[in-house]
Amino acid sequence: MRRHFSTLWVSHHMKLVGQLYMRFLSYSPPIWATVIAGVFMVMTLSLSLFLIFNHLSAYKNPEEQKFLIGVILMVPCYALESYVSLVNPSISVDIEILRDCYEAFAMYCFGRYLVACLGGEERTVEFLEREGGSSFDTRLLEHASEKGVIKHPFPMNYILKPWRLGEWFYLVIKFGIVQYMIIKTVTAILAVILEAFGVYREGEFKWNCGYPYMAVVLNFSQSWALYCLVQFYAAIKDELAHIKPLAKFLVFKSIVFLTWWQGVAIALFYNWGLLKSPIAQGLQFKSSIQDFIICIEHRWVLLLLFTSTCSQRSRMS
């Protein structure tokens, strides 16, 4: 009986996978979407390669620039992956693993770039210890002055105690970023495996689909990583005022965080039947709508603009 049930379950899901695959094969994106997305992709690749060439031609701050180049490469990675996925939705889940993994790596590069601007890990820890006070008794935290202490906003202040700047603070921030790299990579690989068995079902919020569970895990992981970056920025913003970190931080945060929630919002609107515009109807698939939007979004240009100031700074030094 159990073997018969398993056979029926596998047969049912293989049939669904076959139907979805045939639908993908019979689908071709609208010409207007391919042309518009292609034009923006070429612009994005051209600007990215030009900026990377500028960094390499003035490679005078390698400890900073190597991580900055790692962040910049996220732009062409997103553009290429989104365009290929738009043209051929049948491999969208498989190729999306590249974007997900590199997004996590780019967040790590951004954190390491800020550390490099402070002079490396050792000098960063020394700076944080000076700001927080090397000799510190945690029992005195409640009576400590605001200087050298990172207080948590609502509602995190009811969950976490204020963080005293120092080596422990740096390790918490570092782990908060690295855990996102690990979880993002694992879930991306797992999504490909589940998609092969027809149980991932991207964009569908059903209990028997893998997508909603991964969405919850990734949301918490990404939110914690970004929260750690926010706290790290709060601790070093005055020290790094010369590189204008606020603009860089806000744009990078919008790329990573808003792109993720944009995909979730599109999936919800699609399931609720709210995407009735001719553009959405022409693209047919949830993933195609997200890929098209990513190709044409203006914040890629903003990323290139604010990172270009670093290449100019490198030439001046």
| 224-271 pLDDT, tens digit each | 988 998 899 888 888 888 777 777 777 777 777 777 777 777 777 776
Supply the pTM of this predicted model: 0.73
The closest alpha carbon to 260, from 36, 55, 104, belongs to 104
Q: Which amino acid is at 182?
A: I
Q: Which amino acid is at 10?
A: V
Place of tokens 């044409």: 296
pLDDT digits (tens, 9 = 90+) for 96-110: 777 778 888 888 888
Pairwise CA distance, residues 261 & 219, whole Å: 9
More confident residue, 169 or 23: 169
1-5, 171-175, 183-187, 198-202: range with highest mean pLDDT: 171-175
Cα three-residue angle 59-242-46, rounded to 5 degrees: 45
The neighbouring-strand residues paired with 149 are 164
Query: What's the mean pLDDT when you consider all of the chain?
Result: 76
User: Where are the chain's structural domains?
Assistant: 2-316
pLDDT digits (tens, 9 = 90+) for 209-222: 888 898 889 889 98
